[in-house]
Structure 1
Amino acid sequence: MSDEIPEELITGILSKLQVSSSIARFRCVCKSWRRLLSDPSFIRKNNLASSASDHQFMVEWTDRTGDVFRHVHRLISPDTLEPLLPSPLQLPFDQNRPRRAGDCPSFSVVGCCNGLLCIVEYRGRKDEDLILWNPATSEFRVLPPSPVANPSREFLIGAVGFGFDSERDDYRIVRQFFFDELGIGRRHYISEVYSLRNNCWWRLPDGGCPLLGSWRIPQCRKGKMYWWRSTGQSKGLVFDSFDIASELFEVVEVHYDSEKPYDTPNCLLNEESMVAVFPEYYEENQDEYGDRKFSTSWDVWVLLKYWVSESWMKLYVVTSPPGMIIESCVGLSSGLKYFFNTVPTDMVDEHGDYSGDRSLIPFHLETGEFGDVLIEGICVKVITNYVPSRVSLQDYLPQSPNIISNVSDFYHHKLMEIDTWDSIFDL
């Protein structure tokens, strides 16, 4: 009797397994299974096989216990918005991690791709670790430190992006940080890339344009990461993009036709269109530094054709619910759900300040109505593109620590030769 079983049948069997189940243990069933389950293309296809019902939202908010602030994460259903687990997620890498006296770490999601989360651990102004984590399998990897970052210098992380390089079957992280040159006041921007398959960092020859803060998760589309920002009086959006395969930065500007300027929006990109949610701008609603405090309404615009300014269309106006003021939009989903942080109207002082907890409230564009309060706290973000997967970080371990297969090898090796911080400008 032949032990050859059609690949379609094997795929059907494995699709019935829970996402948390590893397929590696089934290699011992027979020779054909071992051969098939060891094939990289089959593993990749099976790892990413998820149905729409697996789609989940992840809410990140700040929990305060006394003077200690920590980011907490919870999975919720995209349909009912009910919690999928009775308690917040337990981060396996938060256990038995070496700490210094006085350390109060906080973990924040800065990227999501194919079921993997890129998380930054904040432990101080100069002390930040990056971690890749698959919540479905509990597998994680703490990334090696950057060869560029120098703890003796005062530097800040400008942005972090995480995506998949389909050409090389590799997961990449781009990170930008900046510092002010002592005695001159000139600001330097340095960008670097991490390869999961090679497990190393390298500096990019192009530092790129100044990106937004790492709290703003970039949107990924067709192998590119996009950060967005307002152009101020020019009534438009600037998208700072990074091509994962070519490792090149690009700036794209899209204008909109409106009678009023807007503050920086929250954007959602998908394959068909782009949605932008703008806070309405009021001059009288500024503090002494010109920063907007709160807005009573948010305008929803859709860009029907990518990068064509004439295709902008105003879709909806979201006004604050009774007794509340919308503070920020912290999440958008392709299912036409918008997530807003709100504060009580009677708790905002004459300067427009409010220091208490916020209420996270969903808004359903189909009905034009707000839903029930999801979380009381200070919500940081809602990740709406999380889908559990079997992607294994172990499958991307380099065969040899000396093997590097990227066009940026030169910059990586040059970094290894740097003896002083100042010599970085000679590259």
Structure 2
Amino acid sequence: MADKNVNWDSLPVEIVTQILIRLPIKSIIISTSVCKTWKSLIQNPTFIPTHLHHSINNNNHHHLLFRLCQDGKEIYALHNDDDDDFTEHTRFDFPFHAVNDNTFRVVGTCNGLVCLSDDLIVNKVHHFFLWNPCVRKFVKLPYPNLTYKTHGGVSASIGFGFDAKTNDYKVVRMVNLPNPNSNSKNLRRDRPKVEVYTLSTGEWRMVTAALPPICTVLGLQQVAFVNGALHWLAFRWTDDDLIYHFVLVFELEDEVFREIQLPELPGYENTYDLDGPVSVYKNCLALFKKRYYRHYRIDFFENKEGSSDQNIWVMKEYGVASSWTKVFTITDQDPDMPFAIGFRRNGEFVLQVESGQLISVDVGNQKMKDLGISSDKNAFVDSYVESLVLLDKAANGAVTY
């Protein structure tokens, strides 16, 4: 009779590795309890990127991560993006509900990590986390250098991405400090301060080798990680006292700044306000441009009329301003019209309507589909790949819950 006691350590490491990288995350976590050899192999820093690379290149199941707010409670869930019924794949336990009873927003996602911030309330001490819900681990970031406590009413915009050169994850804060000469043109000549948190060191540091251009970065906007760089919508005043909008680019590898010109916007001189986040569309830079118009009647005391539109632009060739292409336009007489929040893998984009319901819109035939998902406010959607990142970070402050 064959020996029923299987010696798992006797299998060649190469074979075990090829088996494990093909398993789903839950099965890999269970495999860490099989034997010490397997646990050591799985938690090895070289295995984690190998598994991630295999998942990205061979994954036939694509998911969207949703951050929703329903009845005051935050919900984080994966839905099957390739499923016609858009079924829920996984709902994650959210470990941060008790942090000062604050509401979090998603700064961004990258390689299975979710960057969270509770900076929706201004002029307070904020908390930042890197969270991998698949392995139930998170890292709480230390307080940054530039805060309301240290500098007063700062305005910060945050981005999150991956530095492929150092195999490291970075959180970047673009901070506009308060200017005591707010009534002078000096306010228009300030540069944002930039600080970077790296996961490998667990610390914030100021970026001083390269200076950003003189500009203002819009706070609490969604920041796009594309082509190894973070992208912000920014503006500056020209010598003619006009506002010039552009995309501010920060390369994560070399930590240098660039600018990308925005598409031509007819009627820009009549624009009362111009905003909209940058996003990612099939690994291309995308832009949701929302414009508000105000038309005043001759009689000052009569009502004011208003209208707005939202154009969705895609940069077909990265870095080439002439390749900006408008793929869709939404028009409405109500400034509270539906707004775009993200894209699906098939190229459809996701809108949130006034009722909170989320719908997807086919750019080609402009057909709309109710996703059967709703959110009170601050909804977020982005492509998501399950990973083991942080599984090896117990010694570097990663918390298991």
Distance 2:34 2:164 in 1: 26
Q: How does 1:14-413 map to 2 (within 5 A)?
A: 14-19=21-26, 21-22=28-29, 25=32, 28=35, 37=42, 39-50=44-55, 51-64=58-71, 71-79=74-82, 80=84, 82=86, 84=88, 89-95=92-98, 97=99, 99=100, 104-122=101-119, 125-149=123-147, 151=149, 153-182=151-180, 189-205=192-208, 206=210, 208-209=212-213, 210=215, 212-229=217-234, 238-256=246-264, 259-261=266-268, 263-269=274-280, 273-279=284-290, 282-284=293-295, 295=308, 298-318=310-330, 326-343=337-354, 357-372=355-370, 374-392=372-390, 394-395=392-393, 397=395
Contact 2:109 2:115 in 1 (8 A): yes
Distance 1:364 1:282 in 2: 27
Task: Report the secondary structure of 2:104's partner residue.
Answer: strand
> Amino acid of the residue matched to residue 252 of structure 2?
I
Contact 1:226 1:242 in 2 (8 A): yes
Distance 1:292 1:375 in 2: 33
Task: Report the secondary structure of 2:143's partner residue.
Answer: coil
User: Where does structure 2 lack aligned partners over 5 or more consecutive residues?
Assistant: 1-6
Task: Report the secondary structure of 1:310's partner residue.
Answer: helix
Deviations 1:61-108 (A, max 9, x none): 44455xxxx65434333234645268x64311334x4x4xxxx41111
Distance 1:77 1:230 in 2: 37
Contact 1:19 1:388 in 2 (8 A): no
Deviations 1:258-295 (A, max 9, x none): 64448434444357644444446644399x9xx99763
Distance 2:152 2:36 in 1: 56
Task: Report the secondary structure of 1:43's partner residue.
Answer: helix
**More deviation in 11-20 or 114-123?**
11-20
> Amino acid of the residue matched to residue 46 of structure 1?
H
Distance 2:237 2:87 in 1: 39
Cα distance, 1:363 vs structure 2: 1.0
Cα distance, 1:370 vs structure 2: 0.9
In structure 2, the CA distance between the partners of 1:150 and 1:330, relative to structure 1 (3 Å rule), is closer
In structure 2, the CA distance between the partners of 1:272 and 1:21, relative to structure 1 (3 Å rule), is closer
User: Where does structure 1 lack aligned partners over 5 or more consecutive residues?
Assistant: 344-356, 400-427
Deviations 1:344-403 (A, max 9, x none): xxxxxxxxxxxxx4332221224421112634443424322221111125438559xxxx
Contact 1:276 1:302 in 2 (8 A): yes
**More deviation in 145-154 or 262-271?**
262-271
Distance 2:155 2:28 in 1: 36
Distance 1:331 1:270 in 2: 8
* CA-atom RMSD in angstroms: 4.1
Contact 1:60 1:382 in 2 (8 A): yes
> Amino acid of the residue matched to residue 32 of structure 2?
R
Distance 1:150 1:235 in 2: 27
In structure 2, the CA distance between the partners of 1:94 and 1:393, relative to structure 1 (3 Å rule), is farther
Contact 1:235 1:255 in 2 (8 A): no
Task: Report the secondary structure of 1:94's partner residue.
Answer: coil
Distance 1:285 1:20 in 2: 63
Distance 2:207 2:157 in 1: 15
Aligned residue pairs total 367
In structure 2, the CA distance between the partners of 1:283 and 1:116, relative to structure 1 (3 Å rule), is same
Distance 1:301 1:183 in 2: 37
Cα distance, 1:45 vs structure 2: 1.1
In structure 2, the CA distance between the partners of 1:303 and 1:37, relative to structure 1 (3 Å rule), is closer
Contact 1:236 1:254 in 2 (8 A): no
In structure 2, the CA distance between the partners of 1:365 and 1:11, relative to structure 1 (3 Å rule), is same
**More deviation in 56-65 or 19-28?**
19-28
TM-score, with structure 2 as normaliser: 0.75
In structure 2, the CA distance between the partners of 1:252 and 1:93, relative to structure 1 (3 Å rule), is same
2:4 aligned residue: none
Identity %, equivalent residues: 20
Cα distance, 1:117 vs structure 2: 0.5
Contact 2:21 2:54 in 1 (8 A): no
